[in-house]
Structure 1
Amino acid sequence: MRWKDQVLSLKPYQPGKSIKSVKEEFGLEKIVKLASNENPLGCSKQVIEAIKTNPIPLEIYPDGYAGELRSSLAEKLGIRETQLIIGNGSDEIIEIISRSLLYPGVNTVMAAPTFSQYSHNAIIEGAEIREVPLVDGNHDLDGMLQCIDNKTTVVWICSPNNPTGTYIPNHDLIHFLEKVPSDVLVVIDEAYFEYVVADDFHDSVSIVNRFSNVIALRTFSKAYGLAGLRIGYGIADEAIIRALDPAREPFNANALGQFAAKIALQDQEFIATCREENRRGLEMFYRFCEKWDLPYYPSQGNFILVNFRQDANQVFQFMLERGFIVRSGAALGFPESVRITVGTKEQIEGIFNVSEAFLEKESQARV
């Protein structure tokens, strides 16, 4: 078979270990998964009740236009329905963008480290990847501008950035967008938007209405707690949506996901609670890191990247064997750090106990 060379050189995305597999491997009864930035509070109770009382006919294809969800999103955001594209998670929209704009002979610009699927899809499409190292965990916007030329078709911005949790202040982002050529698509991936509390975070709707070459991506997988149903969306100028839509698979957003997302939008009180609880959890992590002199990045997401000053895989394994699944920074570009999802208060205290045991063990080993 005549495979693309770039496909043969890639490894598939490696998700975090499952709770079931860890239980079986180590014979543990209780496992806490803090690796995939899922919402520890689950989803809105309104969603659960609505699903129970409104069975979805599984034999019928979903609405290919996602009309009801699209209408609800447009009303909430104050935009036209034609400014939206709905995806099987925002991951699919990243794939659609890559499929539409990346190919051999063009290049794409992104930070490093950042969300891996930008480069993954670029490799598949045969485009040149231009990565600009983070500076103190933040996007080097000036460096990214210097990498843009007449062969650049897409620039990726992840804010808050995964895996650092850092964000780009509105003033800096606007200044950057003003300098990007108008024929280059800028993708602002804000999967953790609902967790942001920074006063100077950008307003995506205002930005896409001002800049016709920008698309903002959001998801229902994080704060809304619907990761298992895979619904994401993009907000952009109508011309961008029209150009991208033919590359979208038919019936790509499943019926249950569309229904649940529409209900979830109505419960903003739940989202506010999640944001407040997440902020309290992050403050706990900050105090812990400062107590143990562990470097970290203040986060606007529902996760934190902590530098244990030790091999990240060893930290990961130590925690895994004690029932806590975290994400090793070795695969994320931070070989001495682990990324930890902000869980419940009980889960956070549990990971602190395990972290202290690891740090004390390493301290004794050095004596």
Structure 2
Amino acid sequence: MKWKPILRTMKPYTPGRSLEDVKHTYGLQEVNKLASNENPYGSSPKVAEYLRSKAAQFEIYPDVYTAGLRGKLAEFHQVESNEILFGNGSDEIVTIISRALLQPGTNTVMASITFPQYAHNAKIEGAEIREVAMLENGDHDLEGFLKVADEETAVIWICNPNNPTGNLLSSTAVKKFLDRAPKTALIVLDEAYFEFVTDSSQEDAMKWIHDYDNLIILRTFSKAYGLASFRIGYGVTNADVVSELNKVRNPFNNSSLALAVAEVALEDQEFLQHCVTHNEEERKRYADYAKQHSLAIYPSATNFVLIAVPGDADEACEVLLQNGYIVRSGNLLGVPGFVRVTIGTHEQNTGLFKAFDQLLTN
């Protein structure tokens, strides 16, 4: 078969260990998955109520225009309905953007340590990848982005807050970058974890899309809304960009059930705020734990932390697995010596700290 040659140099996505696998391997009755940045509080109770009371018409294709959710999101964000693009998770929108804009002869700019799907998709499309080293504090080096971007730069990726570090760039810094960035490049502001940001000085970037024709903002229902299994992500940008990207998007890429459930979740902002409040309280506990034990930790604005471990990150993950906690090794994320831990419930985090103590005493 005539596979693209670049595929020989690539590996498929490596998923984390499943709960059942870890239980079986280590003989554990209870295992806590803190590796994929899922919402430990689940989704809105109204979602479960909806699923119990409604029967989907499984023989009917989904609404290709996604009118219901589109209208509610447009109202929620105060944008026009034709300024929204839907994806099967925001991951698919990353793929759509890459397929539409990246090709041999173009280049794409991103941080050296960020969401790996940006580079993954660029490789497949044959574009040159220009990675800019992070600043010492873990922030994107936006000045460095400007230095390497040129007339052949097709896409610039800004993950804010960044995955896997959790760092948040200020609204002021991002706007200054947008003012100076090449107008011929699409600037992707990936805000998958935006809802967890509690800094009151941070602006909602949705209001910027009419100021910058080359800006698209990505959001998702997978994280704070707790709907990861339903795969609903969306991008907001000007209507012309949406029209071009829709030429690449597969029709019926969101299921009817997922679209309906996302509508229900969007309406329950009280539950969302409940999750954000508890997450912030627990996030502070991680910062305190790191300070108490003199461990390096990145300044997270998300529902995960990137925290240092003594010794090898894979070995640390193994010890935590033996204690019933699945976390993500920094060796897989380009940050050796660290593990990425999803911020769980109060009880889960208390147990994680006890397991982590074993790493510090060995």
- Which range, TM-score by smaller chain? over 0.9
Q: After superposition, what is the alpha-carbon deviation per residue over 1:90-134, rounded to whole angstroms, capped at 9, x for unaligned?
A: 000000000000011100000010000000000000100000011
Alignment of 1:84 onto 2:84? yes
C-alpha contact (below 8 Å) 2:310/2:360 kept by paired residues: no
Equivalent-residue separation in structure 1 for 2:316 and 2:202 (angstroms)? 33
1: CA distance between counterparts of 2:27 and 2:58? 37
Kept in 1, the 8 Å contact 2:98–2:125? The answer is yes
Answer yes or no: is the 8 Å Cα contact 1:82–1:238 preserved in 2: yes
Look up the match of 1:356: 357
Contact 2:158 2:188 in 1 (8 A): yes
Distance of 1:275 and 1:38 partners within structure 2? 13
1:41, 1:344 within 8 Å by CA — same for their partners in 2?
A: yes
CA distance in 1, matches of 2:24, 2:93: 35
1:201: Cα distance to partner? 2.1
Matched, 1:258 2:251: no
Distance 1:236 1:50 in 2: 30
Counterparts of 1:191-206 in structure 2, within 5 Å, are 191-206=192-207
Aligned to 1:20: 20
Which secondary structure state, in structure 2, belongs to the residue aligned with residue 247 of structure 1?
A: coil
**2:333 is matched with which residue?**
332
Secondary structure at the aligned position of 2:79 is classed as coil
Cα deviation for residue 187 of structure 1 reads 0.1
Aligned-partner Cα distance in 2 for 1:200–1:245: 34
Deviates more, 1:48-57 or 1:227-236: 48-57
Q: What is the CA deviation profile of residues 144-186 of structure 1, one whole-angstrom value per residue up to 9, with x for unaligned ones?
A: 1101001100000000000110011011111100011111100
Q: Does the Cα contact within 8 Å between 1:310 and 1:337 map onto a contact in 2?
A: no
Q: Which amino acid aligns with 2:49?
A: E
1:293 aligned partner, one-letter code: S
Q: How does 1:42-53 map to 2 (within 5 A)?
A: 42-53=42-53
Letter in 2 for 1:321: Q
Unpaired stretches in structure 2, ≥5 consecutive residues: none
CA distance in structure 2 between the partners assigned to 1:200 and 1:172 by the alignment: 12
Report how far residue 251 of structure 1 moved: 0.2
Q: How far 1:67 moved relative to its partner? A: 0.9
Secondary structure of the 1:100 match is helix
Q: Which deviations, in whole Å up to 9, do the C-alpha atoms of 1:58-86 show, x marking residues without a partner?
A: 22211111110101100111110000001
Equivalent in the alignment of 1:138: 139
Name the structure 1 match of 2:150.
149
Partners of 1:205 and 1:312 lie apart in 2 by 37
Most deviating of 63-72 and 222-231 = 63-72
Residue 95 of structure 1 is matched in structure 2 by 95
Any idea what SS the aligned residue of 1:210 has? coil
Would the aligned equivalents of 1:224 and 1:264 in 2 still touch at CA under 8 Å? yes
Do the aligned partners of 2:309 and 2:359 also contact (CA within 8 Å) in 1?
Answer: no
Preserved CA contact (<8 Å) 2:108 2:155: yes
Distance 1:356 1:314 in 2: 14
The residue type paired with residue 177 of structure 1 is: L
Q: Which amino acid letter does the alignment assign opposite residue 279 of structure 1?
A: E
- Give the CA deviation at 1:204: 1.7
SS at match of 1:162: coil
Q: Which amino acid aligns with 2:20?
A: K
Partner SS state of residue 110, structure 1: strand
CA contact (8 A) 1:119 1:129 kept: yes
**Runs of 5+ in structure 1 lacking a partner?**
362-367
Alignment check: 8 A CA contact 1:34 1:343 kept: yes
RMSD, aligned CA: 0.8
Matches within 5 A, 1:58-77: 58-77=58-77
Which residue of structure 1 lines up, in the alignment, with residue 299 of structure 2?
298
- After TM superposition, give the deviation of residue 226 of structure 1 in Å: 0.2
1:365 matched residue in structure 2: none
Shift in Å at residue 202 of structure 1?
3.3
1:162 aligns with 2:176: no
Greater than 6 Å deviation, 4+ residue runs? none
How far apart, in 1, do the equivalents of 2:282 and 2:148 lie?
Answer: 38
TM-score with structure 1 setting the length? 0.97
Matched residues, number: 361
- Counterpart mapping for 1:198-237 below 5 A: 198-237=199-238
Counterpart of 1:76, as a letter, is F
Separation of aligned partners in 2, 1:5 and 1:24: 39
Equivalence for 1:33: 33
Q: Secondary structure at the match of 2:219?
A: strand
